[in-house]
A and B are shown apart, each in its own frame.
Chain A
Amino acid sequence: MFDRNKDRQQDKPETSAAPAVESTYSNSPRPTSSASSGTSATLGATIKVKGDISGDENLLIEGEVEGTVNLASHELTVGKSGKVHADVTAKVIRIDGEVHGDITGKEKVFVSSTSIIKGNIITPKMTLEEGARFKGTIDIDPSHANGGSPVTSFKSGSPTDKPDNTTSKPGNPTVKTS
Chain B
Amino acid sequence: MPDILHRLADVSTLMVLDIGFGVHETVEHFGNRRCKLHFCGLTDALQSPPSLPPPAQKTGKIVDESVRQEKLLCAWRERFRSVLNFPDDTCFDLCLFWDSFNYMDDLALKAFFEVLHPHIHKKTLGHGLIQFKDDKQVTNREYGVQAQDQLVMRHGHHGSLASYPRPQARVASLLKGFAVSHGVLRRDGLLEVSLKTE
Contact = CB atoms under 8 A, between A and B. Distances in A.
Contacts of A151: 25, 152-154
Interface stretch (B36-44, B49-57, B61-69, B117-125): B36-44
Interface string B8-28: 000000000000011111011
Contacts of B191: 175
Contacts of A160: 186-187
B157 to A, nearest CB: 7
Nearest to A138: B37
Given A126-B27, A154-B150, A177 B193 contact: yes
Interface string B60-103: 00000000000000000000000000000000000000000000
Interface string A33-45: 0000000000000
Interface stretch (A64-72, A75-83, A141-149): A141-149
A134 B22 contact: yes
Contacts, number: 132
Interface residues of A, number: 41
Given A141-B34, A149-B155, A177-B168, A128 B27 contact: yes
B41 A135 contact: yes
Given A161-B187, A177-B193, A178-B179, A153 B37 contact: no
B123 to A, nearest CB: 17
Contacts of A140: 30-31, 33-37
Interface residues of B, number: 49
A134 B21 contact: yes
Contacts of B33: 140, 142
Interface of B: 1-3, 21-25, 27-28, 30-41, 44, 127, 142, 146, 149-155, 157, 168, 172, 179-188, 191-193
Q: Across the A-B interface, give the 6 residue pairs with the lowest CB-CB distance, nearest first.
A: A156-B1, A134-B22, A135-B41, A133-B21, A128-B24, A161-B188
